[in-house]
Amino acid sequence: MKFTFLPKPKDEPIAALEAEGHQHVALEDNPDMILFGGGPGDFPDQLPDSVKVVQIQYAGVENLQDVFAKHAANGVRFANAGGLYDDTVAESTLALLLAVEHRMKAVDREWNNTQLFKEKQYLFDNKKLAIIGAGGIGKTLIRFLEPFGMEITAVNRSGNPVEGADHTVTLSDDVWANHDYFVLIAPLTEETRHMVNAETIGKMPDSAVVVNVGRGPLVDTQALTQALADGHLRGAGLDVTEPEPLPADHDLWGLDNCVITPHVANIPRFMERRIGGLAAKNWELYAAGEKMATEVDVDAGY
């Protein structure tokens, strides 16, 4: 198999594929597969007829819908990196939960332990957590949370049981009303856009915490900011925001009950370390006439 890496070649995934006997070539040399690690503006307008598979370096691919529509019509199949970063994102999610509940951002140069005595919370203290979009990352997060003894509800589209969860349900008003923590890991679709908004926040307990490690537009930023400022939510942990990057003068930065990290739940060196092996596996499945392990449903967008 011949492959190319766009827009900027990365040594580690190239070496991983070459170790499997595949050949790195330029786009004009008729590759069978493209490894892609850019945005929609980086994708070639035209592809050689030789290209059969595009392996995307990211799990979230909602910004490539136009690319899918154009090239899938010509028989190109796409695979994302779903499941490849379950452990990194799950650990980052746990870090955000702990930072919010231990009130890390509220610590200042005054010895404000009296304030923290009142405000600090513990994950083990009879808490209930809902994972919205409980796929691979959610399953790994459940394992990471096991020592805290929380009651965990997995929320997915099918309602099919998720290993390790105490309950698995589809999304409903009861979910918003009956949990302390909401971890958002759902893909971004028209159905999930702004799933956390003024209405759904109004259904949550005032003691609730929202953590978003999925996509920024899962949350209505204005509604979240207002709820945090007014005390209608206890806290939020955000690795992704809308807009992104979050402007330096945005009110969220000044709220000590909101912990923000700049889209680093997974980081480039882990992408580069792992994507080559996944690309090789997906090509093997494709060549065998099977569905790829992380094949994108072009119509669904993920």
Condensed to tens digits (0 to 9), the pLDDT of residues 5-55 reads: 999 999 999 999 999 999 999 999 999 999 999 999 999 999 999 999 999
Condensed to tens digits (0 to 9), the pLDDT of residues 43-85 reads: 999 999 999 999 999 998 989 999 999 999 999 999 999 999 9
The residues assigned a catalytic role are 215, 244, 263
- Three-class secondary structure of residue 210 per DSSP: strand
Condensed to tens digits (0 to 9), the pLDDT of residues 82-133 reads: 999 999 999 999 999 999 999 999 998 999 999 999 999 999 999 999 999 9
The identity of residue 133, as a single letter, is G
Cis peptide before 243 (omega within 30 of 0): yes
Distances, alpha carbon 48 to alpha carbons 9, 30, 31, 286, in Å = 18, 6, 8, 18
The CA radius of gyration of the chain, in Å to the nearest whole number, is 21
pLDDT at 301: 80
